[in-house]
Amino acid sequence: VGMFSIFYNRLPFGLEVDQAFIAAILTIIGYSINDTVVIFDRVREYIKLYPKRDRVEIINSALNDTLSRTFSTSFSTLVVLIPIFFFGGDSIRGFIFGLIIGIIFGTYSSLFIASPIAYDLQKKRLLKAAK
């Protein structure tokens, strides 16, 4: 209901929020979670390898190592989806639009939102353990 009210009469090209658009949003949630898990797995690996390093350095190193993978995956997916969006049929356009928007925001959230939240949660946990 919230998505429908946000996008009502605002989607480009006369798109509607239908089952295909909702399926695209759900697909992107999985896509974004996968990117976030890859980054967090690298953070976990670096914590084991470098236990004395500062958490900020570890998260930064993990992000730097996974950055090219994340951008390459997102870019290659967008290279395929954009032509399908413009040249594909009307029946698939809502699904593709949801995927395009979701990939852009999912990549952003995996890199720039999830990692700082993870750092803050780790910091709080370490402060509680120190007390």
Per DSSP, the residues of 23-65 read: HHHHHHHHHHHHHHHHHHHHHHHHHHH-TTS-HHHHHHHHHHH
The end-to-end CA distance of the chain, in Å, is 44
Calculate the alpha carbon distances from 103 to 30, 55, 66, 97 in Å.
11, 28, 16, 10
Q: How far apart are CA 103 and CA 116, in angstroms?
A: 20
Amino acid (one-letter) located at 93:
R
User: pLDDT at position 50, please?
Assistant: 92
Phi and psi torsions of 33, nearest 5°: -65, -40
Provide mean pLDDT across the span 106-130: 87
pLDDT digits over 74-95, tens only? Answer: 999 999 999 999 998 888 888 8
CA triplet 116, 39, 76: central angle to 5 degrees? 115
Which of 17-21, 61-65, 123-127 shows the highest mean pLDDT?
A: 61-65
User: pLDDT at position 2, please?
Assistant: 59
Q: Is the pTM of this model over 0.85?
A: no
pLDDT confidence bin for 41, thresholds 50/70/90: very high
Provide mean pLDDT across the span 68-75: 92
User: pLDDT at position 1, please?
Assistant: 46
110 contacts 102 by C-beta, under 8 angstroms: no
User: pLDDT at position 102, please?
Assistant: 87
CA triplet 78, 80, 84: central angle to 5 degrees? 110
User: pLDDT at position 4, please?
Assistant: 52
Provide mean pLDDT across the span 100-128: 88
User: pLDDT at position 20, please?
Assistant: 82
